[in-house]
Structures are given as structure tokens and as C-alpha cells.
Structure 1
Amino acid sequence: MNPQALFVFFSKLKEGLVLAPTEVRRLFHGRGRTYEGLEQITCDWIGQHLVVQLFRPVTDEFLAELTKGLESLASEPDYVSIRSISIQHRYEQGAPTQFLLGEQPDKVEVVESGLKYWMNISSNQNSGLFLDMRLGRDWVRANAKGKNVLNLFAYTCGFSVAAIAGGATQVVNVDMASSSLNRGRDNHHLNNQEVSRVKFLAHDIFKSWGKIKRMGPYDLIISDPPSFQKGSFALTKDYQKILRRLPDLLTENGQVLACVNSPSVTSDFVIEGMAEHAPTLNYLQRLDNPPEFADVDSEASLKVQLFSR
């Protein structure tokens, strides 16, 4: 990467801190390859903690300029709210973290679109909230009123929190990891929401269709699977098994928000899969990704697609 390009990096950081000073946000997304010379660096603003991630080794000059610029940023009066600054070296085993300022707790409370979530900012994998899904959660909140919602691969229930905030009558969250669902329950409590309207099923989806169907039919189904989960899910092999079940779970006018976050498949993967395995569902639109996650190849980024009966 090019140290002479870092002025763009710091310009975007300052711009983002002004636009969303109290909300969780990706401030710089070099991995979208829209910033030449900065393709392997990102920066997130997480609960007043500045988290920089490097995905490839950099030169001593680059690291020195990056460190100098971050320390200078923290000293400016406009950015006194910064509690800590860290650089995670994601290309090294264990992703060691270098602290330039302060310390980071294991768990912090963040705000997105006015809703609260817990995040693990020291984790290099399971932070608790995928920031590129912000507009997806906003869409669910805006369209959930009076609906029975099924949230497949629920993780920490971000969609569920958004749906209840939007007036959903019930949300059924399904995920194999009980620890993730426990965090989801904590997220609902953090927003003082009625957990009596929320179900948490720590089940293997493929072995639980009967139980899932009994809690339906659903007005809205959200399917946001991992690209790969060892021993339980492989996107290109298993997503079709999800799609063919959808018609039996939906109400007459039900909708499906089908998500894919693998650069190895395009948006046609779900559109064509739905046409083959759930032909009664029609493709409506692909939701926008947040502008901070711009990518030179839109098909390599997150794909959130809406279908309707």
C-alpha cells in the first residue's frame, strides 16, 4: 500500500466522524478497491473506539505514517471523544492488536439508527454486528409493522431488534449457536423491548422445519446465511434447501429478504435459485448497500434482495 495515499484515509475518517459522531460506522473501506493504494485497510468507529484493520503486511514507512496520523487525529480538539485507537494486523495469526491510545473492553454498547447493540470490538471474526447490513436492518424496521417475522441464521438478532422496533407482532429467531441468540436476547433487553414477542430457537434449521412452520405462517422471512460454516452450511450447496421451503412458510402476500455476502457468487445466484426452487416468489429489487461500503464490483459486495409472493 502507498503511504502517500494516507491523506485520503484521514480525510474520510474526519468526514465520517462528523457525519455520525455517536453511531457505529465503517469510516473507511479500502477493501472495496475504490481508493488506489489503500486496498488493504479499513477503519471502524465502534462505541467511540477507533479500530483500524490491516489485511496485508505493510512497509515500515506506511505503518509509521499511519501511526503518526492516528495519534495526531486523537490530539485534535474536534475528536476528544475518541476513547481508544487500535491497529489490528489481520494478516497475522491471531490478528494481534497494537494500541496507540487507551484500552478496549471486550464488549461495548453501540448505536445504529437509534437502536442499541452489543459488539465485541476485540474480535477479529464475530463482532456481533455486520456493519454493511445497516440499510437492511433499516428496511426491516420500516416494513415490519404488524408482521410475523422469521429470522433465519439470526446470529445476534440485529434484524429481530429492528423488526420489533418497527412494530412486528412476533419474531422467530433461528440459529445453531445458543451463545449468539443469548447475545440477541441481550440486545432486545438493551432496547427495553418486549421479549415475550420474540422466540429464540437454538436449532439446526435443516432439522427444524416442522417447529418453524408451526409458528408461522410468516409475513416476512429473512435469510442471511454464512458463506461457509464447517459441518453445517455451504452456500453454493445448501442455500437451495432453504429456498424450496419458503413458499410453505409464507402468508399469501409474504415477502422474503434473501441475503448473500460471498464475492464468489453474483446476485443472479439467488434470483435463479428462487426461480427454480420457489417459482411462486417474484424478484422485486436489490436493496442498496451503505455508501461507505462502495465497491468497484457491486457483485462482489453484500447482496440483499427482496422477493414477494
Structure 2
Amino acid sequence: MTTRVILKRGRAKPLWHGHPWVYAQAVERIEGGEGEPGDVVDVHDASGTFVARGFISPASSIRVRLLTQREDEAVDDALFRRRLERAIALRRAVGLPNAETNCYRLVNAEGDQMSGLVVDVYNDIVAVQLNSVGFYERRETLYSLLEELLSPRSIIELGATRFARSEGVNNATHLARMDHAEVDDQERHVGPVDVRELGLEYTIDLEQAQKTGLFLDQRENRRIVGQVANGRRVLDLYSYVGGFALAAARGGATSVVAVDASPRALETAQDAAKKNHLSIQTVESDAFRYLGDSDDPSFDLIVLDPPKFARSRRELKSALKGYRKLHRLALKRLAPGGLIASACCSQVVPTTEWQRMIADAAGGAGRPLTQLLLNGPGPDHPTLPSFAEGDYLRFALFAS
């Protein structure tokens, strides 16, 4: 008998509208056994009507990750194949991969109707992030499908995120498949991989990188920075491996300074600059400390791409305070007529509050700003209109 998760009265509405998560507090009771982590369960509303089907995680606040709303559709290998084939077709529809870009997101979890699964392609390497115990238990099936559909040289299984750990998944980053064979020797490594984004060449070490390697969600925003950089002195804060810095340099910036606290990331940025015959200056520093150094010159374009300042609503107030301070300091270093490109990846910070915070910082600095555009991730990072939790990245360009 299939385990049935019965919802409390009134809790099914978001799911009817396509929300892919059943929160623990929405569950009234479970029938047919509690279910083992990763089991397929059916979700029913309070009246007993079928709502959806997905993977259960008894210990997680996300009790069920939904995969289909069709009662006649099984959660099986055939479903995974259909979803992967659809994801590949959607990327091809938006022109990925192409001659300029061979690294992109293939599966964006909920946005591709595969809640808890992230798949990134880096040239001939596939990086897989398993945030769901259900997909973790079925990872070998996924790897076989990815090999069949993409023929990658290797598949890397990325280490557990906090979401995965909340579901009992505690794997470390390792090479899972090489040349269509399982890898038993955990000492084997794929090594650095050469990738291309917007015509720029990078060498990325996926087994040592933050996130999944290159922050692929910012690709189209790096394109924008490259388009407005010509003739400007550019400062790229929280530069990581230099994506914005290199885009600016190729776009004709007169000078580019990339600031990051990670020496490894800055070394990668300099290597990429040399590979692309570009010149950038790298500075190992905390962004706030660097901005407070009044001895350095002003800049005509400043890029702010900080890490998450808030992971929960409880941290919202302190996060806005930090963002406000960052923008206030940056505005002091911005030359008259300059541009600020600002990003926020904290999903719990609403876009309107983020914009209001920037306006407050600008007003306090006596540097009112005009917003030229508001953007998000590229089309290889699809989201669901019913799933606000998946709408995490915003990027805006401001003129002073």
C-alpha cells in the first residue's frame, strides 16, 4: 500500500497552484506507514482528494518534495527520463550550449519539476547536486540517464548542502562516473576542467569550487556589465573567479580591480585573465575593509555581488543593515556619473525591500540613483510562478 500524506484543511491550495513542497506543519496525518526517507508517497487534501506525488523526508521541514500532480503518472525511471529530455530541449530552445558558452545549468530543481536535483554542465563534465534523499537514493539511475543523454566524460557528485543534510544526506564531493563507468577509487579526481562562457575561457576545479563552480546564474548579468564597461574604471567586489571583472575587461574597461577574500579564487581569476589576454588587478581583501580605504581611487562602475547576508527571515533586519552599509561605502567610491551593478542572492530579502534599502543608502550618501534595469538569472535557471522560494536572485543596474 502506498503511503498517503493527508493535509490539514486549507493547506492544499498552494499545491493545486503548483507549489512543489509540502511543509511538515501542513500535514494532518500519514496513513499506510510513516514511509522511509526517499519513498514515493501520495499527497491528499483533507477531503481525501489526490493532490500530488513525490518523495517523503520524515525528518525534514520539507516533508514531501512533489514531482507530479497527475495521479496516473508514476515516479519512476521513465519520469526522470522525460524530465531530463525536457530540460535538455528547453536549454537548446534558448541556445545552450553554443559556440560561446559550453557551461550552463541543465536541471534547476523545482524549475524543471525535479525538486531537490541540480545538474550543471561544464563542457564535457556534469556536476550533480543531490538536495533530496529521494534523488540521492536513485542517483545511479540518474547518472546512467545523464550518460545516455549527454555522453559526458565524467560525472561529479557534489557534497551535501544544508538542504541535503536536513534530509539525512551527508555525502562528500567525489567523482561518481568516468568514461561511462562507476568509480570505486575515491582517490581518483577529474582535475581542472576548461570551460567557455560568453567567449571567455576559464579553468575551473569543480572539486574545490564554491557552489557548483562559476555561479552560472549570473551569466546574463555578466554580459550586461561587459556592455556598459567600455572606457570605465571598474571595481568588482566579491569577485570570486573574476566573472564580472573579465567581462568588464573584455568590454573595454580602462582598468579593472577584482576584490575577494579567497586567494584561490583570485589565482583562478588571474589565470583566466592571462588565458584570455586581458589585464586585471586582484586584491585579497574583505570588501568592507577595501571600500573603507580612502587612499584608493574612485571608480566609474562598481559591481557588488555579495554572498547571502540572510538565510532566514530572522536574519532579514541584520542583512538589510549589512547591504545598506555596503552600498553606502560603495557610493563614496563611485565617481560622478558612475554606475553601480548590484546583486542579491538572499531569497528571504524581498525585491521591494532590497530596492528600498539601496534608495535609503543612496539618499543618505547624497547620491540619488536611477534604476536602469532589474534582472534575475538566465533562462537556464527556470522558476515556477507559484514558488517564491525559488526566486532568489535579483540584479539591478543603477546610474548616479
- Counterparts of 1:176 and 1:127, CA distance in 2: 18
C-alpha displacement at 1:97, in angstroms? 3.6
Measured at CA, do residues 55 and 276 of structure 1 come closer, stay the same or move farther in structure 2, by a change above 3 Å? Answer: same
Gaps of 5+ in 2: 1-54, 56-74, 180-187, 311-317
Aligned residue pair count: 292
- Counterparts of 2:220 and 2:324, CA distance in 1: 25
Gaps of 5+ in 1: none
Contact 1:104–1:121 (8 Å) recurs in 2: no
1:205 to 265, 269, 287: 287
Q: What does residue range 57-72 of structure 1 map to in structure 2 within 5 Å?
A: 57-58=133-134, 62-63=138-139, 65-72=141-148
Contact 1:152–1:173 (8 Å) recurs in 2: yes
C-alpha displacement at 1:5, in angstroms? 2.8
Contact 1:120–1:127 (8 Å) recurs in 2: no
Does the alignment pair 1:225 with 2:295? no
Deviation per CA, 1:4-23: give whole Å up to 9, x if none: 53112233236647831561
C-alpha displacement at 1:256, in angstroms? 0.7
Matched AA of 2:300: D
- Counterparts of 2:140 and 2:203, CA distance in 1: 32
Contact 1:246–1:278 (8 Å) recurs in 2: no
Contact 1:155–1:177 (8 Å) recurs in 2: yes
- Counterparts of 1:191 and 1:8, CA distance in 2: 36
Deviation per CA, 1:259-301: give whole Å up to 9, x if none: 0011111222321111112121232321242111122246732
- TM-score, scaled to structure 1: 0.84
Deviation per CA, 1:166-198: give whole Å up to 9, x if none: 0000112222222221221111111111x3xx2
- TM-score, scaled to structure 2: 0.66
Q: What does residue range 258-297 of structure 1 map to in structure 2 within 5 Å?
A: 258-279=342-363, 280-296=368-384, 297=387
Deviation per CA, 1:116-152: give whole Å up to 9, x if none: 1122222473544100000111111111110011111
Measured at CA, do residues 256 and 60 of structure 1 come closer, stay the same or move farther in structure 2, by a change above 3 Å? Answer: closer
Aligned to 1:5: 79
Where 1:192 maps in the other structure, the secondary structure is coil
C-alpha displacement at 1:44, in angstroms? 1.1
C-alpha displacement at 1:251, in angstroms? 1.9
The structure number with the bigger radius of gyration is 2
Measured at CA, do residues 214 and 172 of structure 1 come closer, stay the same or move farther in structure 2, by a change above 3 Å? Answer: farther
- Counterparts of 2:252 and 2:396, CA distance in 1: 22
- Counterparts of 1:226 and 1:142, CA distance in 2: 24
C-alpha displacement at 1:115, in angstroms? 0.5
Does the alignment pair 1:243 with 2:334? no
Aligned alpha-carbon RMSD (Å): 2.7
- Counterparts of 1:34 and 1:156, CA distance in 2: 26
- Counterparts of 2:240 and 2:120, CA distance in 1: 20
1:216 to 294, 297, 301: 297
- Counterparts of 1:62 and 1:54, CA distance in 2: 10
Matched AA of 1:264: V
Looking at secondary structure, tell me which structure has more helix per residue: 1
Q: Which moved more, 1:58-67 or 1:91-100?
A: 58-67
Structure number with the bigger relative contact order (C-alpha 8 A, sep ≥ 6) is 1
Matched AA of 2:399: S
1:93 to 147, 156, 170: 170
Measured at CA, do residues 205 and 62 of structure 1 come closer, stay the same or move farther in structure 2, by a change above 3 Å? Answer: closer
Measured at CA, do residues 205 and 109 of structure 1 come closer, stay the same or move farther in structure 2, by a change above 3 Å? Answer: same
- Counterparts of 1:9 and 1:128, CA distance in 2: 21
Where 2:231 maps in the other structure, the secondary structure is coil
Where 1:5 maps in the other structure, the secondary structure is helix
Where 2:223 maps in the other structure, the secondary structure is helix
Q: What does residue range 182-201 of structure 1 map to in structure 2 within 5 Å?
A: 182-193=267-278, 195=279, 198-201=280-283
